[in-house]
Structure 1
């Protein structure tokens, strides 16, 4: 009934230590397939495309669950709370902030293990019936941490130059694409700008986007920030639209998804009609209004099918909600 064309299961950890908090979802073992398959089957029953976002928390790991968060307080989850403070890793031993654990630098062997974990999780996602896989390289997650010179201070083949800093992500994408069915789309979420001096830039994002297109990525969901605690990112949907449009123009071989504070149906529709982006992603708006698609249809004057038992609640176009 709700009508979303694609429903994405977000931030699903590929390793147990790759969760943000002890309460986070994961797909690091076969026993987790059946539970997710029930969700996918339910989505498919109503004609919804099911996607899953595969992630690793990196230096953000062993944090408290979001429902326990208090502004200004420590985000650390210790052993007594189910955390794993001695197993928090990042590209380098650089913490996100003093509210998070100090990470250890990943070894080359550990990097290979994480890449394999993404591959194995993608295989499990296919077995669960998911239609889309999204590799999470945004909002300060591990793959995002590798991209930025502010969080990645390595001196080996995974740090330093642009080509070295993107290596972890590109290799992971390449390996996942080899096992993810060719007929199923592969997405990569990226933060286009970092909002901090000396950090990841939009020009680097544009170069990366074209490389990802060459690796078989179908769409990139483009956000901003999340990797630096004191980053300055304009909280304006017009800025996010501008970023998406610029990337769409500079990476013609890759579909671009706009995201972030896009809560108005008319605005979202304009983004598509004006070819600013190829898709619009919304998350928080659905938390506020699970029937957002129905509200959007009303605002846009589109007559969509409701299930029969809810037909009596439909607001006809000639009437107003008020």
Structure 2
């Protein structure tokens, strides 16, 4: 049995293999509501053999959206719109997960194909989409030309913490079995964690314990609403790659603190805090973030997920077999090939006869394989 296809358990949830579908924003929602696009987009990964399928970054408040097209869980109606998606995913043997998010100073942004810059009057003319108020830990914009966020008051912070708790309640009602909190890539919680964006001098800023306070309080708020037998995951940017920013040692301490609050796994990504220019220290290559998942797993004694530029089945197998991470998450590779998990199983010698495929596809493909072999066509 390849390690990549061994089962893995967090609390009372068992994943049939170690492959997760990373949250991939589609920007196709309207007023935060899921629609047929989300059913097809996420459903195909369930048919393709992944064990854990995350819905995209899902805003906990309307103002916490990144774009007008973000999914949301700030209303019960939004939870109802996601329930058919979770039912389908679970019926096909996968685990439905959701990534809860607040964009903070990166809110009120255009979709990537519209420029990935702040919404302005041109968007109102082109699409009837208007900007909204942006908040953050300090009044420091994400990058030159971006909105200057309003520095959050105590009331703002408490409202966001409560919103994560209420979104967790709705996620449970919608049928999700895993929550991941988006505390990476320059979103609000990462903004509080990083000294690059957080210049506060109160109990929410300054020393590391204060900067991670928002993450801790959000974990507590979610755990109050989220069943004890269901896993809670945090995605962290393990390093900012910037002098004066978060380093892996900081993330290990954050992971330890989150574990104490009932967090079960850390999804280890990097970067995203210092504008759109790639930091010089960030060297992108296949599996370049695995080292951080390994460090967190080893030093914080918590399960970890490796993510980022993973596409080779043998590499993913090695990561799990050598216990560098407990799960691997793929994103764009699965957009290109939603059946990647099934193809990986065959490549690793586990499923030569397509027995792991849904019978509606596997039966026909096996028959075709026999014909092609018989006539020497492939």
TM bracket (short chain): over 0.9
Structure 1 regions of 5+ residues with no counterpart?
A: none
Kept in 1: contact 2:52–2:96 (CA 8 A): yes
Cα distance in 2 between the residues matched to 1:257 and 1:226: 18
Are 1:301 and 2:349 counterparts? Answer: yes
Q: What secondary structure does 1:50 align onto?
A: strand
Q: CA deviation at 1:238?
A: 4.5
Cα distance in 2 between the residues matched to 1:263 and 1:48: 20
Q: Residue 121 of structure 1 aligns with which residue?
A: 167
Q: What secondary structure does 1:173 align onto?
A: helix
Q: What secondary structure does 2:196 align onto?
A: coil
Kept in 2: contact 1:21–1:83 (CA 8 A): no
Q: Residue 120 of structure 2 aligns with which residue?
A: 78
**How does 1:86-165 map onto structure 2 within 5 Å?**
87-165=133-211
Cα distance in 1 between the residues matched to 2:233 and 2:358: 31
Aligned residues between the structures? 316
Kept in 2: contact 1:21–1:64 (CA 8 A): yes
Q: CA deviation at 1:316?
A: 6.2
Describe the superposition over 1:208-243 as per-residue Cα deviations: whole angstroms up to 9, x where unpaired.
111111111011100010111233311023531222
**How does 1:241-280 map onto structure 2 within 5 Å?**
241-252=290-301, 254-280=302-328
Q: CA deviation at 1:308?
A: 2.6
Instruction: Output the aligned Cα RMSD.
Output: 1.9
1:41 to 78, 82, 87: 87
Q: Residue 284 of structure 2 aligns with which residue?
A: 235
Describe the superposition over 1:99-153 as per-residue Cα deviations: whole angstroms up to 9, x where unpaired.
4222111111000000000000000000011000111101111000000111001
Cα distance in 1 between the residues matched to 2:146 and 2:286: 29
Normalised to the residue count of structure 2, the TM-score between the two structures is: 0.80
**How does 1:172-191 map onto structure 2 within 5 Å?**
172-191=218-237
Are 1:313 and 2:365 counterparts? Answer: yes
Structure 2 regions of 5+ residues with no counterpart?
A: 1-46
Describe the superposition over 1:283-309 as per-residue Cα deviations: whole angstroms up to 9, x where unpaired.
111111111112211211111422233
Are 1:286 and 2:322 counterparts? Answer: no
Q: Residue 30 of structure 1 aligns with which residue?
A: 76
Q: What secondary structure does 1:200 align onto?
A: coil
2:108 to 43, 62, 67: 62
Q: CA deviation at 1:98?
A: 1.7
Normalised to the residue count of structure 1, the TM-score between the two structures is: 0.93
Larger relative contact order (C-alpha < 8 A, sep ≥ 6)? 2
